[in-house]
């Protein structure tokens, strides 16, 4: 007759399975939270943008960097792009082009977006107008 597992072995197996399930759920929950935080970080609060005083250009620049980095996927292959900030990211700027309200323009503020060698946003400069 084969040996039956003793009670201690069975309890250890059950505890191991329960721990594995709990750990899996925790990891999934943490990953979901990170995704939620990324979405929150990428959302744009236009009221907060408008509330930044004119003498605090660095604060607007940081907000612009965050939005552009989150929402701009430009496969231009260029080192820099000049554009206007819109709710969906950077709108490429062209001299004389009319921008309508439907384009989601946040501020008629020109930005120069610099890209690293991998095509990712490395910095954003406010263009003095």
Task: Name which of 99, 93, 90 is nearest 71 in CA terms.
Answer: 90
First vs last Cα of the chain: how many Å apart? Answer: 90
Any idea where the domains of the chain sit in the sequence?
A: 1-42, 45-126
Q: Give the pLDDT confidence score for residue 46 in this predicted structure.
A: 61
pLDDT of residue 97: 62
Mean pLDDT in consecutive groups of 10 residues from the start of the chain, 129 residues: 56 51 43 39 61 78 67 55 69 63 64 73 71
CB 52 within 8 A of CB 61: no
pLDDT given for residue 73 in this prediction: 45
Q: What is the pLDDT of residue 76?
A: 52
pTM: 0.38
Residue among 111, 1, 123, 115 at smallest CA distance from 49? 111
């Amino acid at each position: 007759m084969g040996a039956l597992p003793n009670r201690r072995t069975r309890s250890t197996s059950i505890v191991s399975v329960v721990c594995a399930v709990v750990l899996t759920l925790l990891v999934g929950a943490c990953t979901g939270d990170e995704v939620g935080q990324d979405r929150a970080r990428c959302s744009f609060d236009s009221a907060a943008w408008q509330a930044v005083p004119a003498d605090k250009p660095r604060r607007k620049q940081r907000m612009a960097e965050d939005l552009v980095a989150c929402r701009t996927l430009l496969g231009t292959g260029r080192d820099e792009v000049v554009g206007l900030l819109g709710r969906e990211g950077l709108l490429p700027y062209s001299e004389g082009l009319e921008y309508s309200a439907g384009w989601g323009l946040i501020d008629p503020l020109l930005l120069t977006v610099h890209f690293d060698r991998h095509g990712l946003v490395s910095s954003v400069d406010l263009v003095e107008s």
